Structure 1
Amino acid sequence: MGLAQIVRTGWYREVAVKGLDGQLVRALITTRAQLVAQRVDLGNQIRGLLKPFGLLAGKGVGKTFAEKVRSLVPEGPAHDVTEALLRAWEAINKEVATLSRRLVSEARQDDTVCRLMTAPGVAVLVALTYVSTIGDPTRFPHSSSVGAYVGLTPRRFQSGETDHTGRISRCGDRLTRTYLYEAAGIILNRVSRWSTLKAWGTRLARKIGHKKATVAVARKLAVILHRMWRDGTEFRWSNKEAAVTAP
């Protein structure tokens, strides 16, 4: 949500260029995701190192993770090991920030990405990953096909008299599917403004459970984003505003 706010308010400005280089954006997104995973792994290693000493690196008010850890660890062998891990963590964190700023720049330069970000839960990473994965919206004659393309439709098993629905197929791009799922979770849990999509997902959660409802909202969001892209429209929050409802 922070990256999206930077884009919307114009805090980060750079000379605009025409079009979105899908391959470059994809490389930036993938590299950032890999670095974030490494940062998380290092953070867990540091916490695991401190735990036997009874030290918990929780959230410190006004302090970064590195500052919190350094305030806990006294001088000695544990300090040397922890400091080595912290320096690596800080170096990765710096690169993540650099790539995040670059992605903000790429998002600001593309009208489609900015339009998709009018949808709740859709920030820079979601919009850029979605656009770079789909590429050309016209290759999907029906918006409903996008859900299957990114692997968010349930598998169906049919054999003789057996006919039941299984888990989602998980076909297609994993990052796109992951970010759409995260966006759906934000819509259901963190976005305070009600929309037709949020209301539908909330009702569904009461019937089938929160996790399955989040997947369903992610699938529906993928369909809505495609329709917005193809029609050149912004997100419509209510049925009165919506020209077309996603299936």
Structure 2
Amino acid sequence: MTKYAALDVSQELTAVCVVDETGRITAEKKIATCPETINSWLSKNAPDLVRVGMETGPLAVWLWNELHDRGVPIVCMDARHAHAALKMRPNKTDRNDAAGLAQIVRTGWFKHVRIKSRDSYEVRSLLAAREVLVRTRVKLENEIRGLLRTFGVLFGKACGGFALRAEEIVAGELDASAPMRVIVETLMQARMAILDRLKVFDRQVLMIAKKNPTARLFMTAPGVGAITALSVASVFDDAERFKRSSSAGAYLGLTPRRYESGEVSRNGRISKHGNQMTRKHLYEAATTLLTRTKAFSTLKAWGLKLAKVAGFKKARVAVARKLAVILHAMWKTNTQFCWSATAA
């Protein structure tokens, strides 16, 4: 008799439940969150295993790869989709969640989540670490501005950048205040250390982009640099990820929400589902395309025309969505960006 299983994963223990094709529970237990332990227990208690399911989570990538390498028919389910079914149970326990997930796996009523390749996760880890340093640098700069403003010292703008202006303030307006001079100098030293680490990450990003043919292909599009190219390539992971390139915009949360019930029918703001970091990179690429790119392109003309009608913010979101669609189509067809409709 065929069997189906589900894992409710936590850091130390994992609740496992096995059901047969009729939905009857045949085995359940809490075991250590170890791929070898889970594989051994499933081999012993569910020899005719058809499918094993688990939710997305912090340990999902590691556990999925380890179990998949051991020949376990593991699938990863969208946690939001599974939660919609599990919330009908009156009591939430690890045992009940595992049993509910097993029934979802048996019926097939779940949304399959694709686990990306190891290279894609390594690139995304690099971009995420760089994003943390960028936010820390901006927070330090804003903190310096705020502390100086309290004492009537306005930072403003000066030729030479943030560091030169800070040196001028420390040597001039803060010369009579030793405590504030120490505070600002300490924060500036922390900022310089962050900038040094950022340079290391930027060199790694450029080196990876040069070796990645997909990233080089994406960088032929206006506004798309090494960071955006690697971010989009790593989040898509595979050119055959979508049957239609138009699905790329919805995957990144760049399409409007839709609500329809009876006589009520309305469109809302964009869903913002999918990866937030890649969506931010596409926003920045769209802004660069509309404001800094001087070369003409059909995409820029369309975006500027839309900005006159709907405003720049909406136009930027629309261009970001269309840019995601275009980049996926470029990858799928292995063609460079077409600057005009005539060239296309």
TM-score by length of 1: 0.87
Deviates more, 1:32-41 or 1:157-166: 157-166
1:136 pairs with one of 223, 234, 238: 238
Secondary structure, in 3 states, of the residue corresponding to 2:244? coil
* 1:79-100 CA-partner distances (Å, limit 9, x unpaired): 0111111111111111111101
Conserved 8 A contact 1:32-1:99: yes
Secondary structure, in 3 states, of the residue corresponding to 1:241? coil
Name the CA distance, whole Å, in 2 between partners of 1:20 and 1:183: 26
Name the CA distance, whole Å, in 2 between partners of 1:209 and 1:65: 32
Q: Which amino acid aligns with 2:270?
A: I
Secondary structure, in 3 states, of the residue corresponding to 1:60? coil
Deviation at 1:217, TM superposition (A): 0.7
Between Structure 1 and Structure 2, the one with more strand by share is: 2
- Specify the alignment match of 2:307 in structure 1: 205
- Specify the alignment match of 2:135 in structure 1: 37
1:105 counterpart = 2:207: yes
Deviation at 1:182, TM superposition (A): 1.1
Report the RMSD for the aligned CA atoms in angstroms.
Answer: 1.4
- Specify the alignment match of 1:70 in structure 2: 167
Secondary structure, in 3 states, of the residue corresponding to 2:235? helix
- Specify the alignment match of 1:121 in structure 2: 223
Name the CA distance, whole Å, in 2 between partners of 1:139 and 1:225: 13
Deviation at 1:33, TM superposition (A): 0.3
- Specify the alignment match of 2:293 in structure 1: 191
Deviation at 1:59, TM superposition (A): 3.0
Q: Which amino acid aligns with 1:56?
A: L
1:59 pairs with one of 157, 163, 167: 157
Name the CA distance, whole Å, in 2 between partners of 1:178 and 1:77: 39
- Specify the alignment match of 1:49 in structure 2: 147
* 1:100-136 CA-partner distances (Å, limit 9, x unpaired): 1110000001111011001000001110000011000
- Specify the alignment match of 1:12 in structure 2: none
The number of equivalent residue pairs is: 223
Q: Which amino acid aligns with 2:199?
A: A
5+ residue gaps, structure 1, are: 1-18, 243-247
- Specify the alignment match of 2:13 in structure 1: none
Name the CA distance, whole Å, in 2 between partners of 1:29 and 1:111: 18
Conserved 8 A contact 1:20-1:110: no
Conserved 8 A contact 1:20-1:106: no
1:24 counterpart = 2:122: yes
Name the CA distance, whole Å, in 1 between partners of 2:147 and 2:305: 44
Name the CA distance, whole Å, in 1 between partners of 2:155 and 2:333: 48
Deviates more, 1:155-164 or 1:20-29: 20-29
- Specify the alignment match of 1:15 in structure 2: none
Name the CA distance, whole Å, in 2 between partners of 1:213 and 1:226: 20
Q: Which amino acid aligns with 1:230?
A: K
Name the CA distance, whole Å, in 2 between partners of 1:161 and 1:90: 59
Name the CA distance, whole Å, in 1 between partners of 2:154 and 2:129: 30
Choose 1 or 2 for highest CA Rg. Answer: 2
TM-score by length of 2: 0.63
Name the CA distance, whole Å, in 1 between partners of 2:165 and 2:193: 17
Q: Which amino acid aligns with 2:307?
A: A
Name the CA distance, whole Å, in 1 between partners of 2:259 and 2:246: 20
Name the CA distance, whole Å, in 2 between partners of 1:150 and 1:183: 15
